[in-house]
Amino acid sequence: MPEAAQVASLVRTSLEACGVDIDSLQGEQEARSPLTGTVLTMVASSSFDDIDRMIGEAAEAFTSWRDVPAPVRGGLVKRWGELLTEHKDDLANIITAEAGKITSEALGEVQEMIDICDFAVGQSRQLYGKTMPSERPGHRLMETWHPLGVVGIISAFNFPVAVYSWNTALALICGDTVIWKPSETTVLSALAVDALLGQAVKDVGAPANLHKLAITDRVGGERLVDDPRVALISATGSVRMGREVAPRVAARFGRALLELGGNNAAIVAPSADLDLALTGIVFAAVGTAGQRCTSMRRLIVHESIVTELTDKLVAAYGTLRIGSPLQSENLVGPLINQGSFDAMQATLTAARAQGGTVLCGGDRVLAAEAPGAYYVQPAVVRMPGHTPVVADETFAPLLYVMTYRDLNEALTLQNGVPQGLSSAIFTNDQIEAERFLSASGSDCGIANVNIGTSGAEIGGAFGGEKETGGGRESGSDSWKNYMRQATNTINYSGMLPLAQGVKFL
């Protein structure tokens, strides 16, 4: 287990490499590492006056940035992507130390940022509108897309920088400005990423104040949510948070893009390749210590193969090395804090009370070596059916196993939760796969065949239905979230016929 001083030194070196002056940021807010449970440094918080000023400056910057040609705006994002590539290892070090991800996952998160920058640069030349046939002679009917305004981004600890980049890369090429409220537990990652964007702005000569970083708590975040100068709030977090954010934004007729809870399931059919399924299940359930919104929470297995698969699953869990993600041999890092550990223990107690049997895991480990950190053994729980506890999302490495007899029953179990983010089926039966992907199949925003529930690529739109919030980020046509649409009619006929044959004067 690394010493706290070692982790703090690594973070300081990496922050300085990204252009952050830690000494100038000293304040009252603690930045802790889940690896050791100790304080890395102290950081100053943004006051209400600071946040109000940031919104005003971003709104003012928008008035000039919106008129910059979109391909030129893409040049800024291109430079940002180059700096992210240059500092990939530095950013990964900070993410590992602050969010607890193993090195490969931390590097993967930075790669997501680089990939969305590449995507956005291409998109900057493809902000297409349509031309439609007009019913009136000598008229042209078309749509155009225009920059929206200030975009407020509220992000979560589990992907401390990637989700911000999904929003920011697209918002910038669309002509918007951004204000970011990162998770209070991952402010150092935010400082590093914001510094690199600031350097990109200078390098390409873009207007100042295109991006702002508000280091604040929930109350400070409410200032963004309620301010009418913020055209769009993109919020990633819990369903509880979404229930509070959405009505407040709607009350002022703003836009909300919500990425909320996920209670993701995989169906394993009798025809499935169990070795392939096992690999997909373990990563999806255990990756990031079960703290992904796309983490697999439920495993719905055909009754004919459940014993074979659970035996393989328990054996695979027994090989997982748990410990500091700075040590390359470890695959499972810590939970973010004690609250997450306590929630997992409470859920295990509830699962047992509802007839569940814990097949493996659930215990805290390494407490003597790191008393302030919360490392835990990933747990597999066999459940007698879809009991109430299964419908709740617990942000920890906790996987429920249930059985089914036919695909209709499996789909009922799959869709029988309030959340609708990610889903998967493992099958070599094409009819089953097509049924799963059909309108009467999975009701989730992400539906996969023969891969797990996590590990989305940026080329596809990311998001879910029901209590997941309905938002879409990253690829496909998600750029439209950050723009406003206008319908234009151009009359070149020299006459003024009215639509629908209306006669007037």
Nearest to 288, CA basis, from 413, 354, 378: 378
Contacts of 156 (CB under 8 A, 6+ apart): 163, 183, 236, 237, 293
User: What residue type is assigned to position 128 of the chain?
Assistant: Y
Contact 453, 266 (CB under 8 A): yes
Burial 56-70 (b: 16+ CB within 10 A, else e): ebbbbbbeebbebeb
Residues 6+ apart with CB under 8 A from 165: 84, 112, 113, 116, 117, 193
User: Concatenated DSSP letters for 262-290?
Assistant: --EEEEE-TTS-HHHHHHHHHHHHHGGGG
Nearest CA among 141, 212, 171 for reference residue 491 = 141
Sole residue written with tokens 């597999």: 380
In contact, 107 and 92? CB cutoff 8 Å: yes
Minimal CA–CA distance to 73: which of 487, 479, 484, 485? 479
How far apart are alpha carbons 316 and 377 in whole angstroms? 12
- Among 480, 424, 465, which residue's Cα sits nearest to residue 260? 465
Task: Tell me the H-state helices in 87-177.
Answer: 88-99, 103-123, 162-173
- Residues 163 and 346: their CA atoms lie apart, in Å, by 29
> By the 8 A CB rule, do 98 and 188 touch?
yes
Contacts of 35 (CB under 8 A, 6+ apart): 2, 7, 96, 97, 100, 324, 325, 326, 333, 334, 370, 373
Nearest partner of 268 among 157, 417, 26, 432, judged by Cα: 432
* CA separation for the pair 502, 161 (Å, rounded): 54
Q: Residues 98, 105, 109, 259: which is the catalytic one? A: 259
Active site residue 259: yes
CB 259 within 8 A of CB 463: yes
| Pairing between β-strand 139-147 and β-strand 483-491 as defined by DSSP bridges | antiparallel
Planar angle of CA 304, 310, 312, nearest 5 degrees? 110
Query: Which residues are annotated as catalytic?
Result: 259
